[in-house]
Every structure is written in C-alpha cells, then in structure tokens.
Amino acid sequence: MQRFTYALAARDLPKGFGYQLYGALNALAGDPLARSWHEARHPRVSQHLYWADGTFYWRVALWGDLAGSDRLAAAEADLADRLAGLDRLTVAGRVFTLEGRAHEALPLESLLRHHLADQDPPDRLNLVLRSPLAFKRRGHFDPLPQPDLMVQSLVNRWGAVLEADSDRMETYRAIADDRVWPARLRLRTTAVPIKGSHIPGSLGEVQLILRAGAPLQRFLALLFALGEWSGMGVKTALGMGGLDVTSPGWTSLPASAMIR
C-alpha cells in the first residue's frame, strides 16, 4: 500500500477536474492496470482532491492486493515509482506543476497489527471530510454521513481483505446502527460536477462515539483508518470521499509508514 500527496500550483481549476485527473492517472498507469480499475466494482485506487490553508492537494492511494497477478503487481510497482518522482502532470492538455508533500508506504499486515494489537482502541473518532462525501441510496445520492452507510461502504471495500462474508457485513452494519453514534457534526454541502451531472456531497467534521467493547472498538477504528486509503462513499476514484481520522492517544498509521 502506497499513498502520495501533492500540492498543485493552480487556482483556476476546471469543472470536473477530478474526472480529468483520473484520466491522466489512467494514462500514467497504462494498460492492463487501468483496465483492472475499470473492471473492478471497487477499484483498488483512490484519489482525493481538497483545499487546505489556501493550497489545493491531490492525494493518490494504491491499496490493491495484487499478489495473485504478477503482471498487475509489476504494473502497480512501476506506477508507484513514477508517482514518487512526479513533479508535473498533463491533464486535459494542460500541464500542472506538482510539489510532493508526503509519501507513505506499508504492508497491509503492518496496518492490521497496528490497530488490532499494538495500540489501545479509541472510544471516539474524529473524522475530517476532506473531499465531498456522498452515498448511493435507493437510486439517489445521499450527502449525509450516517454511521450505517459509512460502515457499510468501508466493509464493501475491505470485506474481502478482512474475510467478511455477506452475513457478517450485515452484522457490521447493524452494529453501526446500534453502537456508532454521531456526537458532533460541523458540515456544509456542495455539488461535484462529474460527467455532466452534479453529485451532492458533504464536507466538514464528524465526531463518532464508539459504544462498544474493546474488540469491536478496535475493528471499527481499523475500518475508518483503512478508509483514509480507500475513501468512503461513491466516486472515490474520481476525487470524492477523502477523509482523515484522529483520536486522542490513537494514530491511524504507524510511524514507520512515512517515507517523505
């Protein structure tokens, strides 16, 4: 798993920039890796676009388990090498200058051990929704960060890795209804233009209380920590659903993850 964060030297970004960036990322990845993203229900790549302190950031995460395909694993390793040295990128015919701000890398097993064994679980989580968050519900987009939808989205993405079958997924969602409570919300809504439509999404801060025993607190905290890599909700490959997770005395990543 590797994650790259860049600052973009641009202020007049075009509408639908996330979709255009995804096209540039596909070109950078090349075939067959880009095709594998298109064919997957939950592509093992995410990109999150957000403003912070007057700077526009682009965060790209590669979090696939490609051990079963030497060809795809080699293609992803090649893409990671390109991203590590990236200082400019052509997007829809326009060249953007990039400044690398962070590069994180670690095996998934290290992240699992960090949360399930190496640190005490939190009783609350503070989420910062960096890029617009939305969920698909009954054929419509729902911008509200509801605990059951958040947990369901994360289990959908990481269930196979965590060996969660469909029955267990429903159990986790029921647990979220009963044991995960929003304590504080500071949100605003926006609309994200993607392929001719506008998707409503929420930005801001959410505090969740985990009313559960230590084993379940560990698992829930792990899910949201994994969400920093995959994003939550819809269109995470196109720039939506990015989040940061914190809690006093708890970290979402081990210190060994930081390369730059």
The DSSP annotation for 110-171 comes to: HHHHIIIIISPPPSEEEEEEEEEE-EEETTEEE-S--HHHHHHHHHHHHTTTTT--HHHHHH
Q: Give the per-residue pLDDT at 69.
A: 75
Low-confidence ranges of the chain (pLDDT < 70): 64-68, 163-169, 173, 260
- The domains of the chain, with CATH numbers, are 2-105 (3.30.70.1890), 108-257 (3.30.70.1900)
Strand partners, 60: 4, 47
pTM (two decimals) = 0.92
What are residue 140's phi and psi, to 5 degrees? Answer: -130, 160
Residue 164's pLDDT is 58
Contact 183, 161 (CB under 8 A): no
- Bridge-partner residues for 205, per DSSP? 128, 186
Give the per-residue pLDDT at 70.
82
Alpha-carbon distance of 80 to 176, in angstroms, equals 35
Q: Supply the pLDDT for residue 150.
A: 93
Neighbours of 15 (CB within 10 A): 11
